[in-house]
Amino acid sequence: MLVSRLTSKAQTYTNISLGSSLSALTQTTPSWTSPSGDFAFRFHPLSKDTTLFILAIYFNNIPEKTIVWSANGDNPAQAGSKLTLTPGGRLNLTNPSGQEIWTSYAGGGVVTHAAMLDNGNFVLATGLSSINAWESFDQPTDTILPSQELSLGSALQARLTEMDYSPGRFQIQIQPDGNLVFYYVAHPTGFSYGPYWSSNTVGSGTKLVFDASGSVYLALKNNTAYKVTESSISAKDYYQWGTLDPDGVFRQYIYPKINMSSRDNAWSIMTSAAIHICASLKFQFGSGVCRFNSYCRLDSSQKSICECAKGYSFIDEDFKYKGCKPDFTAQRCDIDESKLYRFEEMLDTDWPDFNYEKYYPINEDECRSLCLEDCLCAIATFQSGNCWKKRLPLTNGMVKIGSGKALIKVSIGNSTTNLQSFTYKELEEATDKFKEELGRGAFGIVYKGVLNSSPAIQVAVKKLDKMEEELQKEFENEVMTIGRTHHKNLVCLLGFCNEGPNRLLAYEFMSHGSLSRYLFEGGPKPEWHQRQKIAFGIGRGITYLHEECRSQIIHCDIKPQNILLDDSLEARISNFGLAKLLNTGQTRTNTGIRGTKGYVAPEWFKKMAITAKVDVYI
């Protein structure tokens, strides 16, 4: 590469000759730096995957290599990719196979060389001091730097997250009509939901300027300015940049040049556009700043923090922009499950713009009841005799002082298992004081009952005998195991009682009893097609336990007595007291012998590690 010192637009730079190139390397990646070393142009590895790179300009003289421009944020390059300054004067980025990922289209003039300037601008120069064929300042991403000017028709686009450089959900447009507008847009298509801030300068604005004194303003035709941010911090003493952050707020950051290599230094917010972002996105579409089922609050620096409503968790902790999901199964509408849910309270929190029903005047207890009885109601908010109902997904949530109380509907009992916690008295009444016995097992007796609900639900209540350590373990195992499963060929555990010495389990009632009784006791024997149906149902249930559950479950006691039949002779696997959960990736486990004589696989007796095969031993 030929190197010489030249001057253009009052910027001294190092000439990068035609034919020069950079490569994306996983060890040491070369760069083109500005004369002072303040800025560098190179492949930058992604923090989440260091084998992928974006072509970027960044602050080079500080430990925190802050990116101010990128070329391929939505299409990271693989290791081995190459950037070439072609003989024709274009920047051409190709992957290891030679396919083009990105290119710069020069606007005109014969390119003689390229340069990384000390103001952070990368240029394709023509040799004429006042003309560049292409420059990064004219193709901004999310950032504007001191001395940079954006003309009418330009835009800044926020990245999706701090670590994801693909186009995000917010734009600043310097519109051709002279108005400076902040837009909320859909990811990934860029469809505009509408503006959430405007300078109201239609017909007046000419360009957006970041001047040397540290202010960002919209220059107006009458030689005045509309200030977006205002600062008196000198560019001599501080690095500065202004960026449209992923949360939709334009902020101006500074970093001291004194002791700039110190690890104690950090970017700090100098100023920002006057926007309360949590309350700004009031649109018919979209999720708000914090995506669905979450809410927004501001920290001490006025940056937005996204959190999930009580009873909800992030879909992906590493990518919180995906929003939150319920930690429980949603309320069903085909049966009355109002007694299976309760409320978590959150003060001064609201999802204000997406109510589907309102009541007034009303008290809080009535508001709670109306939401519980409505299977579509996920949250009710109550304030001063007003009650609003909201359905999923929740949008535009925020902390809002004085907004009253949010009532978050969640399932009763353990949120991991989504089971109802019954009192002993409730199950005693449901079984008419344990009157009708359905069967007996090694650890207890099963009784028929009816839950006091609308409509009434028939249940089978297993009452465990003396609560010894072994029985307590079986009880906890059954609750935790079957409580996290949902399949038509498994018996549904509706709830439990864990009160004092009493341990009871409430299941849905199976009218045809056990397969053992159906096969071997009096009455007509099942026909061949019924036997097939039952066998296939058992197989589907076992397949679900072994292959489709989040954690593999080995039942350990598959036998006719533990297969129940519903009204339509659909097989349901039951009795998970001896089941064994395997961790993710685990395929075998060592455990003491368990099961029923005559149905136990031989590996149990050999003290070998057991696998899911023990459930299909014949």
d(CA 95, CA 72): 12
Comparing CA positions, the residue from 268, 267, 273, 266 lying closest to residue 230 is 273
Distance of CA 579 to the CA centre of its chain: 32
Confidence label for 550 from pLDDT (cuts 50, 70 and 90): low
Tokens of 467: 């609560």
Confidence label for 470 from pLDDT (cuts 50, 70 and 90): low
User: Is residue 235 within 8 Å of residue 270, measured between CB atoms?
Assistant: no
Any idea where the domains of the chain sit in the sequence?
A: 1-139, 142-275, 294-325, 515-616
Give the per-residue pLDDT at 379.
96
d(CA 60, CA 255): 12
Give the per-residue pLDDT at 299.
87
Give the per-residue pLDDT at 614.
76
Give the per-residue pLDDT at 175.
97
Q: Which fold has domain 142-275?
A: Agglutinin, subunit A (2.90.10)
Task: Write down the residue that tokens 């540290």 correspond to.
Answer: 214
Q: Do domains 1-139 and 142-275 have the same CATH topology?
A: yes
Number of neighbouring beta carbons within 10 Å of residue 60: 18
Q: What is the pLDDT of residues 79-90, one digit of tens each?
A: 999 999 999 999
Q: What is the pLDDT of residues 29-78, one digit of tens each?
A: 789 999 999 999 999 999 878 889 999 999 999 988 899 999 999 999 99
Rg for the chain, CA atoms, rounded: 33
Average pLDDT over every residue of 583-607: 55
Q: Around 41, how many Cα atoms within 13 Å sit in the side-chain half-sphere?
A: 27
Q: What is the pLDDT of residues 416-428, one digit of tens each?
A: 455 777 888 989 9
What is the H or E stretch that residue 520 is in? helix 515-520
Confidence label for 558 from pLDDT (cuts 50, 70 and 90): confident
Q: What is the pLDDT of residues 432-445, one digit of tens each?
A: 999 999 888 766 88
Question: Using alpha carbons only, what angle is made at residue 261 by residues 258 and 265, rounded to the nearest 5 degrees?
Answer: 70
> Does 221 count as an annotated binding residue?
no
User: Is residue 67 within 8 Å of residue 56, measured between CB atoms?
Assistant: yes
DSSP state letter for 356: S
Give the per-residue pLDDT at 53.
95
DSSP state letter for 514: B
pTM > 0.75: yes or no? no
Q: What percent of the chain has pLDDT over 90?
A: 47
* Residue type at position 599: Y
User: Is residue 184 within 8 Å of residue 281, measured between CB atoms?
Assistant: yes
Give the per-residue pLDDT at 339.
73
User: Is residue 173 within 8 Å of residue 183, measured between CB atoms?
Assistant: yes
Tokens of 424: 């002993």
d(CA 389, CA 601): 54
Extract long-range pairs of 606-611: CB within 8 Å, 24+ residues apart: 610/554, 610/580, 611/554, 611/587
User: What are phi and psi for residue 61, nearest 5 degrees?
Assistant: -90, 10
Q: What is the pLDDT of residues 141-193, one digit of tens each?
A: 999 999 999 999 999 999 999 989 999 999 999 999 999 999 999 988 888 88
- Which residue(s) pair with 41 in the sheet? 32, 57
Give the per-residue pLDDT at 501.
80
Please list the active-site residues. 557
Pick 515-616's CATH classification: 3.90.1150.10, 1.10.510.10, 3.40.50.150, 3.10.20.30: 1.10.510.10
Size of the chain, expressed as the number of residues it contains: 618
Q: Identify the CATH homologous superfamily for domain 1-139.
A: Bulb-type lectin domain (2.90.10.10)
* pLDDT beyond 90 at 324: yes
